[in-house]
């Protein structure tokens, strides 16, 4: 599994990680087995959130006895993101995850509370050893500019955003901003939300042709394309161990320049967006 720096001065983290949105809605035993299989294969980056229902307890079960192998991430809802509310929400997540620290803690999206409250809480949590770093999710460049002015340089570890083959808006400005400021980009829903290209479409046929050339699957090709830049990570969900195996194989896959160009043409990023898309 390829690893790279998580932010400008962060630890080396697996480029392909494991998302947990909706993981609690399927078979719990299979979900736990999938997360454990992912860890076996080097997908040490596990992402969850207080919003994800019972996902945090599922993650706790999966990482029991293996916590030191995991780069563990959770998120605070914006409605809880006052200074005291952020600290309380983090403590609740730690209890549900049965751990004493998070490797990164994120503000799930911009809310009504001023950013300086969340930043102050994050700094307090870092000082207390309850989190090792912090970041944000669903922030566009204007939000990032404001956050940088509040937090200062080298504080923002990551920005987690929607990014898949048919939604490439972040390539216009968000990824360049993050590269400039040493902020990791984490792609959530990297296969789209029930929107992966049909194998019968021209774009789907291209994916399959490139996959055949690598002895890979179309979804592996999609992950390899999205993480072609060294600052970009992806967190696909796997509800079963075999899905984790497929996702992990993308972590060593390198596409050729002509293949990247063909995918770029087949899945155009479109015109400059008016705002960052969210699910």
- Specify the CATH number for the domain of residue 236: 3.20.20.100
Q: Could you tell me if residue 127 is inside a domain?
A: yes
Closest by CA to 2, choosing from 17, 15, 20, is 15
Domain assignment present for 208: no
Over pLDDT 90: what percentage of the chain?
89
The pTM score is 0.94
Q: Per-residue pLDDT for 274 more than 70? A: no
List residues bridging with 244 in a β-sheet.
none
- Indicate the pLDDT class of residue 275, thresholds 50, 70 and 90: low
**Residue (of 13, 237, 55, 197) closest to 206 by Cα position:** 197
- Is the model's pLDDT at 57 over the cut of 80? yes
In a domain, 265, yes or no: no
Q: Where do the DSSP E strands lie in the chain? A: 3-5, 12-14, 45-47, 71-76, 104-107, 134-137, 156-162, 184-188, 232-234
In a domain, 25, yes or no: yes
- Which residues lie across from 156 on neighbouring strands? 134
What percent of the chain has a predicted confidence (pLDDT) above 70?
Answer: 97
Indicate whether 243 belongs to any domain: yes
pLDDT tens digit sequence for 71-119: 999 999 999 999 999 999 999 999 999 999 999 999 999 999 999 999 9
Sign of CA dihedral 196, 201, 203, 204: positive
**Domain boundaries, position 169:** 3-198+227-252
Cβ proximity of 103 and 48 under 8 Å: no
Alpha carbon separation from 272 to 113, 156, 173, 185, 279 (Å, rounded): 29, 25, 9, 19, 19
Counting the structural domains of the chain, the total is: 1
Cα 14 from Cα 45, distance rounded (Å) = 6
């Amino acid at each position: 599994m390829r690893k790279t720096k998580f932010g400008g001065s962060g630890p080396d983290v697996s480029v392909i990680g494991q998302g947990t949105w909706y993981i609690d809605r399927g078979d719990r035993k299979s979900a736990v087995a999938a997360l454990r299989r992912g860890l076996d294969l080097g997908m040490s980056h596990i992402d969850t959130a207080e919003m994800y229902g019972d996902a945090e307890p599922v993650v706790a079960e999966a990482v029991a006895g293996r916590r030191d192998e995991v780069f563990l991430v959770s998120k605070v809802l914006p409605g809880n993101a006052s200074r005291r509310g952020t600290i309380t929400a983090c403590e609740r997540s730690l209890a549900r995850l049965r751990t004493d620290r998070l490797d990164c803690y994120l503000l799930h999206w911009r809310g009504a509370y001023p950013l300086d409250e969340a930043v102050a809480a994050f700094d307090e949590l870092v000082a207390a050893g309850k989190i090792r770093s912090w970041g944000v999710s669903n922030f566009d460049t204007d939000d990032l500019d404001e956050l940088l002015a509040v937090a200062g340089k080298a504080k923002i570890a990551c920005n987690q955003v929607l990014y898949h083959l048919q939604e490439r808006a972040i390539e216009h400005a968000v990824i360049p901003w993050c590269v400039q400021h040493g902020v990791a980009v984490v792609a959530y829903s990297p296969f789209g939300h029930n929107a992966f290209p049909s194998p019968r479409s021209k774009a789907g046929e291209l994916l399959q042709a490139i996959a055949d050339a690598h002895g890979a699957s179309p979804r592996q090709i999609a992950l390899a394309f999205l993480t072609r830049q060294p600052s970009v990570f992806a967190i696909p969900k796997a509800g079963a161990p075999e899905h984790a195996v497929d996702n992990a194989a993308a972590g060593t896959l390198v596409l050729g320049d002509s293949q990247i160009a063909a995918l770029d043409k087949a899945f155009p990023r479109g015109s400059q967006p008016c705002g960052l898309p969210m699910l």
